[in-house]
């Protein structure tokens, strides 16, 4: 059967390709040719358009495409109290390409400010979704992301001489964020998370140790932080996570199936749903889905790729859903692209029309698999 609550049988991760008008406006802002308010007006118009476009392809939800962001994570994290954006000597290394030299570090006591800009971003999205009769979905980075990427060296030892205090404040900060978004009207919130996938990658674990961090035991620490953060969410709020192996201009970072983290992630965290990438061999098989507890949790199977414009065949998608259903009940599965289409403002290497075709494909297949 189709679902009337999130996550839906046909869903999406979050980010969408930035339209030319937004890219042009951002370039003009950098040159000082327009004001920040001028850029916001352009973003408003383009977000209004894509909310209706998402509704028109048959989705029951809509995001703002993350149009106001440069990064899927840094824009949120840098606006937390105690954090700042800075420019390290290197960027993040993807397969064959490096990102801009930007990162976030912790320089003060962590907190979620009442005026975090993404609360206003959500409120605007909510208004557009009310007009389009779809559910607004808000995406923010998982708390684990603030710790793992930079590790100990990115967290002030003066403020947090030991990491236990950091972990405690991180959990409290995110609990406050969950409440703030709920109070703003958010009923569908997603924690985007690269870390679970990194913990499945021997290369990423090696890098963590080389920078002086010990990844042993992090699964349990992250699960505790996440569970504390979402423990007080009201019954009418859905919180999901998206597990990503890296998504920058159609490239990737980590490889490895979910087996090393599946039990902790699927059974040990109290999310309502899990968006899992299954668009390449790097994700491994569906066997780890056996750890999904029977009940109300949903795994949204990402077998449609956002990294290329080639459109998948319906029969291939149905076959893969059938394979997944050997390990988790079909009633606890849903369908989406494996990731967003533009985790950074640069975007993946496909056209907007190819993007919309992918989302419509998810809707069409979901109707055929789970009924209208």
Contact 62, 129 (CB under 8 A): yes
Three state DSSP letters for 309-366: CCCCCHHHHHHHHHHHCCCCCHHHEEEEECCCCCCECCCCCCCHHHHHHHHHHHHHHH
**234-239: long-range pairs with CB below 8 Å, 24+:** 234/182, 236/187, 237/178, 237/182, 237/186, 237/187, 237/188, 237/189, 238/5, 238/6, 238/7, 238/187, 238/188, 238/189, 238/272, 238/273, 239/178, 239/189, 239/190, 239/191, 239/271, 239/272
Give 81-150 as a DSSP string. Answer: EEEEEE--SS--EETTEE--S-EEEEEEEEE--TT-HHHHHHHHHHHHHHHHT-EE-EEEE-HHHHHHTT
Q: What is the pLDDT of residues 181-237, one digit of tens each?
A: 999 999 999 999 988 888 887 787 888 787 778 888 889 999 999 999 999 999 999
* 254 — pLDDT class (breaks 50, 70, 90): low
Q: What is the pLDDT of residues 134-179, one digit of tens each?
A: 999 999 999 999 988 788 889 999 999 999 999 999 999 999 999 9
pTM over cut 0.85 = yes
Q: According to the CATH classification, is domain 20-370 in 3.20.20.210?
A: yes
Domain residue limits, the chain: 20-370
Q: What is the pLDDT of residues 303-314, one digit of tens each?
A: 999 988 899 999
């Amino acid at each position: 059967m189709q679902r009337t609550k999130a996550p839906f049988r046909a869903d999406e991760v979050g980010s969408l390709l930035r339209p030319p008008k937004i890219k042009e406006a951002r370039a003009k802002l950098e040159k000082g040719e327009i004001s920040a308010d001028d850029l916001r007006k352009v973003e408003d118009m383009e977000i209004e358009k894509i909310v209706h476009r998402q509704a028109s392809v048959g989705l029951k939800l809509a995001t703002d495409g993350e149009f106001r962001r440069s990064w899927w994570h840094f824009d949120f994290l840098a606006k937390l109290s105690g954090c700042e954006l800075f420019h390290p000597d290197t960027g993040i290394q993807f397969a064959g390409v490096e990102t801009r030299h930007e990162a976030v570090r912790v320089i003060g006591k962590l907190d979620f400010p009442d005026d975090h800009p993404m609360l206003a971003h959500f409120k605007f999205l909510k208004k557009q979704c009310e007009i389009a009769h779809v559910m607004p979905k808000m995406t923010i980075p998982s708390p684990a992301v603030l710790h793992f990427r930079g590790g100990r060296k990115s967290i002030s030892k003066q403020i947090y001489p030991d990491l236990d205090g950091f972990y405690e404040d991180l959990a409290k900060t995110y609990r406050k964020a969950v409440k703030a978004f709920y109070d703003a009207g958010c009923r569908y919130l997603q924690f985007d998370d690269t870390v679970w996938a990194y913990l499945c990658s021997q290369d990423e674990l090696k890098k963590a140790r080389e920078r002086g961090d010990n990844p042993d035991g992090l699964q349990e620490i992250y699960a505790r932080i996440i569970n504390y953060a979402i423990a007080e969410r009201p019954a009418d709020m859905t919180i999901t996570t998206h597990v990503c192996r890296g998504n920058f201009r159609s490239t990737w970072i980590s490889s490895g199936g979910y087996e090393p983290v599946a039990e902790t992630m699927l059974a040990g965290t109290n999310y309502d749903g899990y968006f899992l990438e299954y668009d390449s061999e790097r994700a491994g098989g569906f066997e780890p889905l056996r750890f999904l507890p029977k009940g109300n949790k949903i795994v949204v199977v990402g077998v449609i790729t956002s990294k290329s414009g080639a459109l998948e065949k319906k029969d291939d998608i149905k076959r893969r859903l059938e394979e997944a259903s050997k390990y988790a009940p079909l009633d606890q599965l849903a369908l989406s692209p494996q990731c967003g289409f533009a985790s950074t403002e640069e975007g993946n290497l496909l056209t907007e029309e190819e993007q919309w075709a992918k989302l419509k494909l998810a809707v069409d297949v979901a109707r055929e698999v789970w009924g209208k």
